[in-house]
């Protein structure tokens, strides 16, 4: 009888225990490796996957060293036949979008029932994709949200200026930084305020933070 080879990456030990206890009772699945960072998984695959192909990697998003997003990208670049399932508590549209663009095979939130997790694993090993309803909801909501649309309507230069504004630089300093005229930066600021429908610098700053252009 064939048993699928599965690898799990999660830096939450207790969660790992939970996953293991769920999959322990299933002889059709063999956990061949667990790790608390993507780096070890990537290394393992680079060395061993050619000889002993892995069927599925289950991974968290937030991990030290190499997170789930990078791990997924690595796998889909260098080990295309290995399926990936993300299990995470994070639900921001940006992350989900990045993962789907990188050909992730599934995404299940950590608060899902174990039945759903098993269903996801089964589907993916069957060659299908599996995304929980809540993930699809977040994704769609994110894609059609004002913020995202507005963000996409900004040019690269505008984003750059916005970032520097939120970093507390004055117009003159931004101009120096980008080797542009002060007037140019003023134009960008104006356009940003107009495009993003905010009232002033405070609004721009909040927006930049929301979009993750600056920390805090």
Q: CB 213 → a copy of itself: shortest distance, Å?
A: 12
Which one of DNA, a copy of itself, none interacts with residue 70, CB within 5 to 8 A by kind?
none
Question: Measured from the CB atom, is 45 or 84 closer to a copy of itself?
Answer: 84
Q: Which is nearer to a copy of itself, 17 or 46 (CB)?
A: 17
Among positions 136, 144, 206, 212, the unique one binding a copy of itself when judged by CB under 8 A: 206
How does strand 130-131 pair with strand 83-88?
Answer: unpaired
Q: Is 200 in the site for a copy of itself (CB under 8 A)?
A: yes
Q: Does 133 bind a copy of itself (CB under 8 A)?
A: no
Q: Is residue 143 near a copy of itself by the rule CB under 8 A?
A: no
Q: Which is nearer to DNA, 75 or 161 (CB)?
A: 161
- Binding a copy of itself (rule: CB under 8 A), the pick from 110, 119, 159, 182 is 110
Cα angle for residues 32, 34, 37 (degrees, 5° grid) = 140
Residues lying near a copy of itself in the complex (CB under 8 A) are found at 11-22, 36, 87, 89, 110-114, 117, 165-168, 170, 198-206, 209-210, 214, 216
């Amino acid at each position: 009888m064939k048993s699928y080879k599965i690898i799990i990456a999660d830096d939450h030990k207790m969660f790992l225990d939970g996953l293991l206890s769920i999959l322990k009772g299933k002889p059709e699945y063999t956990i061949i490796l667990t790790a608390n960072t993507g780096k070890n998984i990537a290394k393992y695959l680079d060395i061993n996957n050619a000889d002993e192909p892995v069927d599925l990697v289950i991974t968290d998003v937030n991990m030290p060293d190499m997170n789930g997003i990078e791990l997924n990208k690595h796998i889909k670049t260098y080990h295309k036949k290995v399926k990936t399932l993300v299990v995470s508590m994070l639900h921001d549209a940006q992350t989900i979008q990045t993962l789907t663009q990188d050909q992730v095979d599934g995404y299940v939130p950590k608060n899902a029932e174990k039945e759903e997790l098993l269903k996801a694993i089964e589907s993916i090993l069957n060659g299908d994709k599996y995304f929980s309803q809540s993930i699809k909801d977040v994704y769609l909501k994110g894609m059609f949200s004002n913020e995202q649309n507005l963000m996409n309507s900004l040019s690269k230069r505008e984003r750059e200026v916005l970032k520097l504004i939120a970093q507390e630089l004055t117009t003159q300093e931004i101009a120096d930084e980008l080797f542009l005229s002060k007037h140019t930066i003023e134009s960008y600021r104006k356009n940003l305020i107009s495009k993003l429908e905010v009232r002033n610098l405070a609004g721009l700053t909040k927006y930049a933070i929301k979009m993750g252009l600056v920390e805090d």
